[in-house]
Structure 1
């Protein structure tokens, strides 16, 4: 997937709040979403990342954002991990199982030959269009605070056509309005 492309159709089963639920691209319409791909359940960096997102989940919800974590494990494995790990037990967002790798391939983060997802993060707008992408190597964990900042910037830009958010922009700070007058002045 690329910036400004639409999420491809999918159907999957997720473990969510003690139940198995069906999730599809139709669930994305009308709200902001984050797809948070990770290599595998019962591993090392993954639970630290998923726990970090869980710790910030209420902040995402206040922004109208649903988080979808995705790995090539099954929804059954997600439940077992949720039930056995204190860190993963905090998760209240849907944990999508993608054992066929369809969703992982659709987003372009499949490690072919391994059957595992790369650490890929995708911010998706209410029309199902990807607005931000981050992919890191196996040993590099992501930061939920930076993800929150990117979501807020994407939401700001969507709500304020003609404005852009500069580097390190945080909510409430000055934005830029690109124009001929700014050329060479920044």
Structure 2
């Protein structure tokens, strides 16, 4: 386990299989470097209530994140096939809607990514966490929660906005509204 995971340091790169628009494909974190900010979300597992609610809420704000030139990537220790099944499952009981996410779900079935980001519990689960990584691949912010706690999308957007503002205006104070 690396001790260098911290704000201001390069985010650990990874290459894994992800599911996006019901298709499997390779996803490498470094492919976004120089192009987009990344919201890297770790969630414990598919088919848990908090995970479904949080992923739907993130998806509801995808257009807002795109305004900030930001890509959401969601990681769990599930297999790519579990992700695919998760996406094809009906959102709510008696609903015809599949879970149509506008961002990829990344498989970390080997738990290598989760371990590299220091989020693996003693029981082999992934702690919920969120990282904001800038276009240079540097971690600008992160939070780690307990397994039952979700995150505030409004707070994520506020922090992302302040990080981008301060990077563009390094000698100014962020005008909090």
Shared fold (TM-score, shorter chain, > 0.5) = yes
SS of the equivalent of 1:92 reads: coil
- Extract structure 1 runs of 4+ deviating beyond 4 A: none
Partners of 1:164 and 1:98 lie apart in 2 by: 39
- Tell me which moved more, 86-95 or 132-141: 86-95
Q: How does 1:21-170 map to 2 (within 5 A)?
A: 21-30=25-34, 31-86=36-91, 89-112=99-122, 114-165=123-174, 169-170=176-177
Q: Deviations over 1:103-151 (max 9, x none)?
A: 1111111113x22211100000000000011111112111111111111
CA distance in 2, matches of 1:43, 1:92: 19
Contact (CA 8 Å) 1:72, 1:115: kept in 2 or not? no
TM-fit CA distance, 1:53: 0.3
**Which structure: larger Rg?**
1
Would the aligned equivalents of 1:52 and 1:143 in 2 still touch at CA under 8 Å? no
How far, CA to CA, are the matches of 2:13 and 2:42 in structure 1?
17
Normalising to structure 1: TM-score of the pair?
Answer: 0.85
Cα distance between partner residues in 1 of 2:170 and 2:140 = 14
Gap regions ≥5 residues in structure 2? 93-97
Aligned residues: 167
Asked if the contact 1:41–1:73 (Cα under 8 Å) also holds between the matched residues in 2, the reply is: yes
Residue by residue, what CA displacement relative to the aligned partner does 1:70-105 show, whole Å, maximum 9, x if unpaired?
000011111100100327713110100001111111
Q: How far off its partner does 1:163 sit? A: 2.2
Q: Of residues 12, 16, 20 in structure 2, which corresponds to 1:8?
A: 12
List runs of 5+ in structure 1 lacking aligned partners. 171-186
Show the counterpart of 2:95: none
Question: Could you say which structure has the greater relative contact order, defined with CA pairs below 8 angstroms and 6 or more residues apart?
Answer: 2
